[in-house]
Amino acid sequence: SQQGEEDPQALSIQEGENATMNCSYKTSINNLQWYRQNSGRGLVHLILIRSNEREKHSGRLRVTLDTSKKSSSLLITASRAADTASYFCATADNYGQNFVFGPGTRLSVLP
Amino acid sequence: DAGVTQSPTHLIKTRGQQVTLRCSPKSGHDTVSWYQQALGQGPQFIFQYYEEEERQRGNFPDRFSGHQFPNYSSELNVNALLLGDSALYLCASSLSGRAVYEQYFGPGTRLTVT
């Protein structure tokens, strides 16, 4: 069974707006990672946040992690049409192993 | 620096047949993991290979087997194919011995079972 659960399942926004996706998980983790997937092809690693970190930035991406609530959020600022993709969170257990992916959020950025 | 490569890109098989998928890891990586991704779902972990041995396994039947070669490349074999095995099969490579590591994914092999 999947540990991560992304919310919402689908999100449609206009270009230039911000997009926020959430991920909840069930067990203790070593780290949480966000991936992007275009058109059912390979996953691209976006950002990794460790369990002792609360926030991390990378370009237009901002990730937060709340281990007390077992949740994470991914914010994409100033979205572009090229950001249209599915976004997945994946958790690794306390040994940094056992990657478990959520079902993903399908983001559509309209020009 | 070559990333993770997979072959073939697409494959069509008939129920009951056997299939072999191949993966070459990113240069410098020694660990290979395989995932199955059904349409509209997240990837599901099948197993991981390190030092030519299966190190971890997800909840998949014995029809799914694998192999890792001395050059770290890997194969995924699926026997007695079922319609439900139709999916995108993703290979990911990483470097062992690190407490926190990132996985680099290949483009996947789209398997269709008819």
The CA-based diameter of chain B, rounded to the nearest angstrom, is: 42
Closest CA to B26 of A16, A45, A34: A45
The pLDDT, as a whole number, for residue B34 is 96
The minimum CA-CA distance between A50 and chain B, rounded to whole Å, is 8
Best to test chain B binding among A38, A43, A87, A88 (most B CBs inside 10 Å): A43
Q: What is the mean pLDDT of each run of 10 residues along chain A (111 residues)?
A: 71 96 90 89 90 96 96 97 95 74 93 90
Residue of B nearest to A94 (CA): B99
Asked if the model's pLDDT at residue B5 lies above 90, the reply is yes
For residue A90, give Cα distances in angstroms to A31, A37, A103, B9, B43: 9, 13, 10, 24, 9
B15 has a pLDDT exceeding 70:
yes
CB–CB contacts below 8 A, A to B? 60
Give yes or no for residue B99 having a pLDDT over 60. Answer: no
Q: Is A101 on the interface with B (CB under 8 A)?
A: yes
pLDDT for B100? 57
Instruction: Please check the confidence at residue B79 and state whether its pLDDT lies above 90.
Output: yes
Mean pLDDT of chain B: 92
Number of C-beta neighbours around residue B43 at 10 A: 29
Res B46: pLDDT = 95
Q: Is the pLDDT of residue B103 over 90?
A: no
Q: What share of chain B is helix, strand, coil (3-state, %, to 5)?
A: 5, 50, 45
Is the minimum CB–CB distance between A2 and chain B shorter than 8 Å? yes
A78–chain B nearest CA distance, Å: 26
Contact A54/B at CB under 8 A: no
Predicted local confidence at residue A1, as pLDDT: 41
Q: What is the pLDDT of residue A96?
A: 62
Burial of A103 (0-12, 13-18, 19+ CB in 10 A): middle
Neighboring chain A residues of B95 at a CB cutoff of 8 Å:
none
Given B44, B102, B108, which is nearest A42 (Cβ)? B108
